[in-house]
Structure 1
């Protein structure tokens, strides 16, 4: 073998080793809110933790075999959308007129490409349609009947609207409407707007991605849309930072929470985790908002700040450590 071939083979081997040593990481959430051990039965807690683990398994399996961050966040969020335990996909909350209206968004940090959908009523997995908007249309956000018509053109899986009905969500709607009838100026209960799901991932090529999916707010009216499908509010990713948010969407939109976290990290030279703490724990709280975010930076460092009593969350860090949690003290 010539010396040139030897050097070329050595370079390829070194590149393969370097790629294998690049960190991958994943974080997920299933919503922040006023969770308490007393209100969550052992059976419900076990089911929620099992679904968080399944979502971690699905997303991390993509990363472990060298797949993209985009594929990883879609795989993880799809599991959570298919679970009845979260306010997204199958477990979505009801609007004031007894329907389900679903929103989602996804962003590729490597290219800044993004896709979003809102007001869906028949799409089984809204995040997959958001990705199709990003990859197969010239647009970023599609809504309602137009979004579903686009979905039909790209082979999206549709279901009968009854698929999204769960008795727990229906009881939440009835309780919210009864309270509204009997009490004036009732503040929104935490259960009205928490339960959004999301994921952020770092792949072996160093690419970041973020995704978020939600059923919105219990008893919402007039086609209300929150932060989840708004790029820069509920979802954002660039080459250095990925964020997915959950909480009271009106506040997250007003503060452009997801983008603000990434911008602060870049412009101020602080860590993504510190930027997230500043935005969630101080700026959102100062306006009266509630919620949390999951974040990743380009080194695979995970951030999970929230200003509520709990947040359904899970992670596989760059060092391989893994966990799921619900309550603040975990």
Structure 2
């Protein structure tokens, strides 16, 4: 069997039939990690943030560099990743049966204490992102990465037995009978309602999820979702945000390998006060200040906490 090349991974990334199951995502990530090891792709550490690295592809791919990868979460060894992923599979199966009680099961506690849920999800998604970074069409790559993250979040939620789908609803325009505004929602999930993409309303037992790889240039829209949905439907609509991370590569102190935050803290706090607070904000890779800052810590948690606790509290 011949070794997988970066071109093979690029073709797999853009293929529409890929990423239809968690196993598809695992196979892709496993192939990417094998590619990194087999071809000894250049690995570069960020000088100011040593837990972040970049991979740089060869001249045949324009010497392009990947997005920054947090080595506290990105599992570089393919054997270690396979072991972590197989645990993740069993964890999801038990979560479907025992819901929040899964955290008390002895076989899961060691993995949960190391935040392995975040590590697996991060590695699955960032493998996609790194291959996308090798493509020449940046817009196409960005779109594919976003689509894959949304699909990944949907499949993880479905895997624990919670109905979850994307949906376009019809919002009534007050004072204008018969007029409706179509409104696209990344995810709608519930444990009670039968979720289908054909339904064009939100029932009382459903939660809206906004899924983005980063909050950069998107945080405004998410707060607007919460405000508009609640105002136009005349009742509080639970809205949560699921993010991958909020970091990007930046030129700092003369180095192109710096790391910069894309999180707009003051915007986030301002929208929380001026509009309506979101019902939960979760990051696979939260920034340290999100967990250290008292105001942010009250509203932002990591994705593992969502999957083991808040998902079950919200989707009653």
Task: Give the TM-score, by structure 2 length.
Answer: 0.33
Quick one: higher RCO (CA 8 Å, sep 6+), 1 or 2?
1
From the two aligned structures, give the one with the greater helix fraction. Answer: 2
